[in-house]
């Protein structure tokens, strides 16, 4: 009976997506409720997608080139943020002197969204890869620190006592007890950070860039090509979803046995 229900719901889901596309098609391509320069129909969007795979018009690069350029910058900033943020978060939670001196500074920059730094970095470093990577770095750093910190703080006192009973040294307690406890939270941080990195990158590319998906959709807006904007948005969404899915796979592998949902 449960299986039947699942199949029924799956059918409803597929129908629902199809219905939206059909309504979209009817509204734009049949009834012409809005002109294509404002709201293109699904056929037009699909054609633009195919075109954009090979054509460099109107913004000087193919879809793949933009995609690759964005991914490169995002991963660079993200990797830096993760490599520094996770150990820093762990150190802040584990050592109270680090906590006492670093956390106040951290609390100062935490409420500032990463993308608010864009203008400053652009003035300082120009519109090249450095300023974009820095913005992404900051966004990823904050998410990684917050989550690693909370994760380590969740270590149970009794578990550390067990460590003491068996004569574990401080570093053994950190690596064998506290970090495994924190692992699910650390992974949550890494996933959140990837999301914010990707968002920050799009923002940076919208504002000042010469390549990348954000640049592509901004250019398309300037010449009123909403079909290319929608292609770009879907590409941005797809990359974000793929990144998230990949990290989730790693998470399941690494944090086996921990409470991963």
Partner 1 sequence: MKKGVLKYRTSDKTVNAVCACIAIGLFLILWYWGTAATKLGMMIPGPIEVLQAIGRGLFGKVGRHSIIAHVGYSMMRVMVGFAIGSLVGVALGLLMGWYGIAEAIFNPLFRIIRPIPPIAWIPISIIWFGLGEDAKIFLIFLAAFSNTTLNSMAGAKSVDPEVINAAKMLGASERQIFTTIVLPASVPSIFAGLQVAISSSWATVLAAEMVRSSEGLGWMIVAGMNNNDMIQILSGIVMIGIVGFILAIIMRKAEEVLCRWNKSGE
Count of other CB atoms within 10 angstroms of residue 232: 30
- The answer to whether residue 113 forms part of the interface with partner 1 (CB under 8 A) is yes
Q: CA–CA distance from 52 to each of 43, 48, 205 (Å)?
A: 14, 6, 19
* Shorter beta-carbon distance to partner 1: residue 73 or 115: 115
Site for partner 1 in 158-187 (CB under 8 A): 160
Binding map of partner 1 across residues 90-109, x = CB under 8 A, - = no contact: ---xx-xx--xxxxxx--xx
Question: In angstroms, what is the minimal distance from the CB of 137 to partner 1?
Answer: 16
Residue 128 is a binding residue for partner 1 (CB under 8 A):
no
CB 89 within 8 A of CB 95: no
> Can you give the length of the chain in residues?
261
Residue pair 234/217 in contact by the 8 Å Cβ criterion: no
Residue 9 is a binding residue for partner 1 (CB under 8 A): yes
Q: How far apart are CA 255 and CA 252, in angstroms?
A: 6
Tokens 């040294």 found at: 169
Question: Interface with partner 1 by CB under 8 A: which residues?
Answer: 5, 8-10, 12-14, 16-17, 20, 38-39, 93-94, 96-97, 100-105, 108-109, 111-120, 122-124, 152-157, 160, 195, 198-199, 202-203, 206-207, 213-214, 217-218, 220-221, 224, 226, 229-230, 232-234, 236-238, 240-241, 244
């Amino acid at each position: 009976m449960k299986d039947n229900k699942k199949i029924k719901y799956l059918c409803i889901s597929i129908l629902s997506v199809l219905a939206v596309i059909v309504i979209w098609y009817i509204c734009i391509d049949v009834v012409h409720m809005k002109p294509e320069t404002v709201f293109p129909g699904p056929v037009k969007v699909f054609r633009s997608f195919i075109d954009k795979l090979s054509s460099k018009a109107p913004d000087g690069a193919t879809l793949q080139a933009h995609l690759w350029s964005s991914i490169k910058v995002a991963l660079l900033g993200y990797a830096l943020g993760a490599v520094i943020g996770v150990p820093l978060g762990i150190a802040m939670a584990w050592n109270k002197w680090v906590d006492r001196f670093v956390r106040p500074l951290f609390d100062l920059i935490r409420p500032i969204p990463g993308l608010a730094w864009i203008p400053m970095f652009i003035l300082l470093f120009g519109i090249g890869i450095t300023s974009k990577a820095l913005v992404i770095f900051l966004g990823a750093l904050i998410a990684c620190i917050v989550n690693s910190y909370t994760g380590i703080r969740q270590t149970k006192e009794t578990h550390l006592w067990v460590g003491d009973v068996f004569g574990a040294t401080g570093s053994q307690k950190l690596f064998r007890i506290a970090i495994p406890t924190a692992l699910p939270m650390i992974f949550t941080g890494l996933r959140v950070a990837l999301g914010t990195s990707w968002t920050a990158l799009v923002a940076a590319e919208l504002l000042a860039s010469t390549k990348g998906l954000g640049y592509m959709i901004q250019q398309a807006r300037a010449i009123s090509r909403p079909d290319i904007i929608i292609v770009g948005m879907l590409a941005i969404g797809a990359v974000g979803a793929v990144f998230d899915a990949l990290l989730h796979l790693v998470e399941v592998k690494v944090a086996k046995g921990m409470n991963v949902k």
